[in-house]
Structure 1
């Protein structure tokens, strides 16, 4: 990951932001950014059902920081099973989202930089495919297409034309059919002790 982040940092050194791994101190800033960018209903989306109670895939929670180190953009990828293949075996994949940029920093290439860094790191870590729900005209430039998800469904309402996929390994999603299900590591919950 360090090599990917170093190359992204070098490329954007002339800009006023850097791409970095998310850390525990970013949680409040990230959640506030997502609330502003995605609106009050963001937790009701089908994608959220796949993320709820899970942690992002290892090394795939990224933020953009301004020159002062404040979080101005975020993207996370989550482990899912993308249905099954022709042999009935589950198809591991990643679900990207949400991607969000602080409105005051839109138009600076932050979203694109986060996407490129996330895709490169997912590929470097050996993942086979990334899925997302989003605007096709924006995500097609990164290689995401609805054709890749035509036999897959989300767990809840979704717009077919906005459900997109990208093979990181050639043909990874070919033949994948069925419902997306969460497969990532569960969020650790503190244990409650009963009073004696």
Structure 2
């Protein structure tokens, strides 16, 4: 059993340590991090998962970006501590946060990731959406939170204004 709660500033270093544990040392060199620099994660959607002892087991973050001038959420990173993987916690973090995004007024979400994994959550390849290089276009995925929200949306992904 896990409590999913909104990430707070007090969680920052613990969440960063989790990401360091789960991802390669050069993770902050990825192009998606340039879109996050100096921008706060989206409040209420960036979640931490803690067990009954209060130990951090997983985390997910969302960032505001724009695609061709249209507001969008950028999902990531999402991580589950290696000792907690295989319990469905990643799915719980993704599904719970996406359920909360629509009521907060978000219409679309995107990420850079593996289509076979994220496809189970309704993400599909986004043609015409250009992440800063170097990003493999096959890994640029999106999901509409409102029917038709991605229709006609193309262009460069930029930092939110």
- Of the candidates 132, 155, 159, which is equivalent to residue 178 of structure 1? 155
Asked whether the 8 Å contact 1:93–1:130 carries over to 2, the reply is yes
State how 1:4-153 maps to structure 2 within 5 Å: 15=1, 17-83=2-68, 90-146=69-125, 149-153=126-130
- Runs (4+) of structure 1 moved beyond 3 Å? none
- Of the candidates 130, 139, 147, which is equivalent to residue 162 of structure 1? 139
Asked whether the 8 Å contact 1:26–1:71 carries over to 2, the reply is no
Provide the secondary structure at the position in 2 that maps to 1:97: strand
Aligned length: 161
**Cα offset, 1:19, TM superposition:** 1.1
TM-score by length of 2: 0.96
2 CA distance for matches of 1:116 and 1:73?
Answer: 13
TM-score by length of 1: 0.79
